[in-house]
Structure 1
């Protein structure tokens, strides 16, 4: 990038110098800061037509008097203009293409830098060679960095650089006129049009030697090169993607032109591309020479007015299947199926090489031809042939397999005379847990069914039984003793730290199992440990049939090994009891309107609700005793409920939680306690007012661990929900029936199930409506109650077919009755 800026800056300097050659300006005093951006842009544009090497630029800049400091400033200004996007786009062409060989290309080479959008989106074709001209990874730009070819033909607009070195020093830059002449000082006009660069050099040397005699003696050397090369116009027609006339550099070749036009289209030939000059075909290009062998035969340098013609292909063959390069290949009439396979890269590693199938189109239908590999050189493919190379069969010709209790199970080679014993040795022998009594071979029959051939593993290995010769696809199975029995385990439960099931080991004792289970819990007793054992061979004819043997043993609490241990057997179950009289502390929680809410430990087996309320100091003045509730954890049996039951409990819990929040209890622990209660818990409807009036009565329940007693504050509302016109909370009015509150909520809706209405009281109890003889009897309403009116279940209406069936049944019944009464 820095070199580009330097070259651009120096080019601007040279333009300044050359444009003011006749002006008396001291460039050593020129200040870049005094130049405007517009002036620099203009100089950059004018610099497009100038081509100098970096050495020439530095030398001429110094000769112009520009100081190094000012040149650096100029470089900075150029960079700034470029970053602002102000610099002309074609300035990049100037800096990119200036080379040490003094050659620049015409701006027409943009054909190679930017492909048309239609080519970029061109779908991938299976035609071999199409990617060469559609891939963005290849450009086929003309090589502008090469030395001028000796056979380069000079034409109009070519710029010649004539340099004399040695005894005479001179440089000339001259352009070839449309008539083919150049003009040199002291020499005059010289006709060079149509000559090669080599012939023109000889001619110019001969004429200049009259002015510079040292050219004959060798004291002066002459060098002639091409500066700016001319542009040529080439027409590309036929079956190409974008036919037309293209302006190209004069060094462009056939491939350069084809790339600019997008290459042959779907019907174009890749093997018979013709270059026509002066109405004569001067070259035929076969792209396959380049694609297959990297040879560019026929890729000649183009001249002005050349025509590249891409004819329609004559013969194509589609190669499919297991080849390295599956594609559609263009063939010449004299090429064979062997040539097609070479173009396809040959067979893949999974190919069936003995023969290929060819699908061929005839005049009326299609046919299949099979050719062996020996026939490839003689068979000439026809247009439209599809060559299918099938994969090899997914099977082994010499495979046997051994599985089970050997050290190296897997597939092995079936060698001549291989026997069962040899195969086991090849698998590094039997494992220690091999079942020695029996093994078997699964053998494939001739009709692809299987049969089983059993053998004694121990006798085969000891030579006591005849060895078994193996056949292809035999599978030898040697089982492990662990495969033929249940997994041996023992279990322990009760008062141990980690009860569970453990793998059984021989000679395992009860003490060992207790140690594996983490030892005793604090309340675990080493006495009266029960071991239950499976019964085998029980007499089923007896009325009293034992289902298990039970042993009661004692062990030392420190699990020492002084005493003779009780040895366990597989599937034994050990139960460790709790120490007599040991009880872990159990606690209950008081929440709400009690003087001292919190957690309390149960002091005795028969401690009741009234006792713990008394320990808490009794109720506050704001307590509503009839609304007190008790949450009690469920038993293990109760936890095994259906999903529907769990959903109902979740809704009830949300109902009670909402009620507590609406009461605005001063003790937030009442809400927290409900949230902390186990999901599997029952809401017990208690009557705390009666309990406190008559302690230790039947209403006064005995406490259990994890009970939660919540005493709400005084409730003043009744909530109506469900199938009413407007669910609402209403101020409690003593003595008013349920219908009073329903009317306050707008009354029942049309879909209300009136007789199914129920009331949920603050203490958690629920009471439903009862059907009376003349009217429904509704529950009494208390403060904090919630009236729930369910929706009627939708009854399925009888269809027309149902009514017809009912009518037929009634008619049949009527007919029977008539017959009976006759």
Structure 2
């Protein structure tokens, strides 16, 4: 029988291993429910490795995750986890490193014709974008080009202005005829394609090609035939233009957007240029022609408008007009110290002087004696020097580039004084000027000036610097005066600037410890008052002063002292005349010690079912839990001593020693997963940790091992008598149930539906009301569950995910199971 049991266990083990080996992959629905916080670092690395196989970069994670139903919040967490593990660089390298391989013929490919085509299309777009960018940069450098790119200047025709006197009517224009006086009437009449308007009771009147004045005369004459008051003068006629017609204008030549445009009939050449984008990089700004009926009707020069605001050539266009932008014939570029550096277009009779005027003239810092020009000849390039007297007559050649330099940063008569004078700065060098004269110009030296030595920084003939020293007091007294030359720099030093800053330091039991500036004849009591006075905990009997050792003698190996230390007693009111009148020296350090028997109140908190709950001060360093319970009047009848617990500050990373912090760092380093590290840090950073106590034993045996010494900030909570048990974890129906003294661990679990298939029974544990934790123990092949008490919380953890095993091992175990079945069959027959 024992053999049967063992073989049966072997068979069940084999079947279980086979099931574990066949773990299927996650479905799409399961993947959408993934929580990044629950993934380990190894699982994150597996996700990154899978993305690398599919050539997915870090920037494509959003789309990759969205296709698999992962929420955007989880995507953000996933990217943060990848960055925290420094895996984002691998994905970036993977994306940037996917270049095309080269075969033996030099052709590029990456295994797919479509990918190769996409690659070359991308490269072609980059080249075109760069060319477009360079073209746009050059286009913006052309003077006048910004006129057609700004949004604040539109050149839209003004349709609300009075009708121009030379405006000629044509088909689709609307005339408003207003008759007033003894007779009143109003007509809105549109000119038909034949050029007529039809006036009621008058008939058709031909107006096409007439100006407004001519049309008014003709219409008034026709209306006088039916309105006699017009001739008598008691009826008047007013004619105005209503809605105007549209015209079609053709834009050709070197223009940004050539084509046919429909414009209002009041549109001018400037309006047409604006809607078409203006001249392109080869278009002329000064030779814009309007062709009407095959003949040149006008020539528009945009420079007339830009330079003088002159719109004389900006004529009103007519239907079927052609606006032609010719190519430029001569362009030059001005660089350097002009007010508007740009590329300018010049006419044949214009000179360099005209182009400089186009640029707004020279700047204040320009060097005008010689202008350098770079010119392209038929075979090579050459530089041309243009003197100032030749600028007005210098003939231009297309492609010329002119450089106007700035004057050098050099002064002909400058001297400088700095340091401990009242008005430091730069001054003009006068004939025969000396150091004393310059000091007088600077209103003299300051009281803190070092009068024993000053210096002059001077440039020699080869422009190498040299230093000349002088006695400041002698110079002021006229004993040793030195003449100055151009670019001399005189420096008067301050006494405070050539020595180390004097300070004293005070620490310990003062209200404002720190460093303070030293002053001559500073006393100990002065420094204490400057530090805000003594704290209540300060010891008046033990104030220590340490002083630097200053010695000009040689090295003495027998003297091993590093500081001079003295101790003083002071009075509570820091009265003068006592030890507090000790005179300090620079760099003294004072330490005010804490009184040895001084201690501040330290409190604990008692809460819950006590006779007098509240805050209690710890009387002695040996006070225990039982002592403070007695001071609180003991427990109430309804109190549950078994459920009492204590909350205590476990760590204080601000005040604890460096040794403790180092131990915590070592502890963090042993936690492998980043999520666990974060959870551990959050747990340690909490202000209080639960400490289980046994209050029954404490009350019954005061001073025993259960009766802990109290510490600052302890919180003791005594709850009411507990009557329930709470179940959590892998139980079919976790809930809170009534406590039954006769019920066991399994009874409570069965009452909640029993263990689920994912329950890890052998790791079940109970958290008691006082914070104590007990886990399940293994007794041979059986689980020994802990005892359940009132207020207990039963936790059943989840079985961890099982990894697949080696297929060879599965085959071996399967074979063993088959042998076991055969043996069992033989035994049954026996």
Normalising TM by the smaller chain, what interval?
0.5 to 0.7
- Within 5 Å, which residues of 2 pair with 1:212-231? 223-231=238-246
Q: Distance in 2 between matches of 1:358 and 1:194?
A: 55
Matched, 1:376 2:391: yes
CA offsets, 1:440-492, max 9 Å, x none? 122233444322111212222222321442431x3322222122222223344
State yes or no: 1:338 paired with 2:353: yes
**Match in the other structure for 2:586:** 570
Task: Tell me which moved more, 165-174 or 311-320.
Answer: 165-174
What residue is the counterpart of 2:491 in the other structure?
Answer: 477
Deviation at 1:600, TM superposition (A): 8.3
Offset from partner CA, 1:748-773 (integer Å, 9 cap, x none): xxxxxxxxxxxxxxxxxxxxxxxxxx
Corresponding residue of 1:488: 502
The answer as to whether partners of 1:602 and 1:703 remain within 8 angstroms in 2 is no
- 2:787: which partner in 1? none
Check 1:500–1:676 CA distance in 2 against 1; reply closer, same or farther (3 A cut): farther
| In structure 1, C-alpha distance between the alignment counterparts of 2:522 and 2:464, rounded to whole Å | 48
Distance 2:779 2:431 in 1: 97
TM-superposed deviation, 1:206:
6.6
Structure 1 residue 217 displacement after superposition: 7.8
What secondary structure is seen at the aligned counterpart in 1 of 2:318?
Answer: coil
Identify unmatched segments of 5+ residues in structure 1. 1-117, 659-670, 678-688, 711-724, 732-739, 745-822
Q: Does 1:294 align with 2:309?
A: yes
Deviation, structure 1 residue 190: 5.8
RMSD: 5.8
**For residues 251 and 637 of structure 1, what CA distance do their matches in structure 2 show?**
84
The whole-number CA distance in structure 2 between the counterparts of 1:637 and 1:169 is 101
SS in 2 for 1:479: strand
Asked whether the 8 Å contact 1:602–1:705 carries over to 2, the reply is no
TM-score normalised by length of structure 2: 0.55
Query: Which residue of the partner structure matches residue 511 of structure 1?
Result: 525
| Structure-2 separation of matches of 1:500 and 1:457 | 38
Q: How many angstroms does 1:602 deviate by?
A: 8.0
Q: Residue 438 of structure 1: SS of its match in structure 2? A: strand
For residue 376 of structure 1, give the secondary structure of its aligned residue in structure 2: helix
Partners of 1:184 and 1:497 in 2: CA distance:
102
Deviation at 1:555, TM superposition (A): 4.2
Structure 2 contact 651–684 (Cα < 8 Å) conserved: no
> Structure 2 CA distance, aligned partners of 1:401 and 1:727?
89
Q: Name the residue aligned to 1:648.
A: 666
Gaps of at least 5 residues in structure 2 are 1-131, 634-639, 677-682, 690-696, 717-759, 767-776, 782-830
Encode CA deviations 1:254-296: one digit per residue, 9 max, x unaligned: 2233333333222222211112223221211111111211111
Query: Of the two, which has the highest radius of gyration?
Result: 1
2:99 aligned partner: none
Task: Within 5 Å, give how 1:173-252 maps onto structure 2.
Answer: 176=191, 178=193, 180=195, 192-201=207-216, 223-252=238-267
- Cα deviation, residue 566, structure 1: 2.9
Q: Report deviation, 1:201.
A: 4.8
Aligned match of 1:149? 164
Contact 1:492 1:499 in 2 (8 A): yes
Q: Is the 8 A contact 1:320 1:386 kept in 2?
A: yes
Task: Give the 3 Å change call, closer, same or farther, for CA 352–704 of structure 1 in structure 2.
Answer: farther
After superposition, where does 1:615-654 map in structure 2 within 5 Å?
A: 639-641=657-659, 644-648=662-666
CA contact (8 A) 1:235 1:245 kept: yes
Partners in 2 of 1:233 and 1:190 — Cα distance?
Answer: 26
Of the three residues 422, 439, 455, the one matched with 2:454 is 439
Cα deviation for residue 334 of structure 1 reads 1.2
If asked which structure has higher relative contact order (CA below 8 Å, sep 6+), I would say 2
Residue equivalent to 1:410: 425
Question: CA separation of 1:212/1:708 partners in 2, compared to 1, >3 Å: closer, same or farther?
Answer: closer
Question: What is the CA–CA distance in structure 1 between the aligned matches of 2:350 and 2:319, rounded to whole Å?
Answer: 35
Q: In structure 2, what is the Cα distance between the partners aligned to 1:742 and 1:411?
A: 97
Query: Which secondary structure state, in structure 1, belongs to the residue aligned with residue 402 of structure 2?
Result: strand
Q: Distance in 1 between matches of 2:437 and 2:283?
A: 64
Q: TM-score, normalised by structure 1?
A: 0.56
Q: What is the SS of the residue equivalent to 2:286? A: coil
**Cα distance in 2 for residues equivalent to 1:672 and 1:255:** 76
- The one of 442, 451, 454 equivalent to 2:466 is 451
CA drift at 1:559:
2.1
Instruction: Indicate whether 1:425 and 2:440 are aligned.
Output: yes
Contact 1:632/1:708 (<8 A) preserved: no
- Check whether the contact 1:274–1:309 (CA below 8 A) recurs between aligned residues: yes
Distance 1:142 1:311 in 2: 24
Map Cα deviations across residues 370-405 of structure 1 (whole Å, 9 max, x no partner): 323332211222112222333443454544333322
**Distance in 2, Cα, partners of 1:300 & 1:243:** 20
- Alpha-carbon contact 1:440-1:452 (below 8 Å) kept: yes
- Cα deviation, 1:712-765, whole Å, max 9, x if unaligned, reads xxxxxxxxxxxxx9996999xxxxxxxx99999xxxxxxxxxxxxxxxxxxxxx
Q: State the distance in 1 between where 2:173 and 2:413 align.
A: 75
Task: Identify which range, 147-156 or 526-535, moves more after superposition.
Answer: 526-535
Q: What SS class does the counterpart of residue 339 from structure 1 fall into? A: helix
Residue 525 of structure 2 aligns to a residue whose secondary structure is helix
Partner residue of 1:561 out of 564, 573, 576: 576
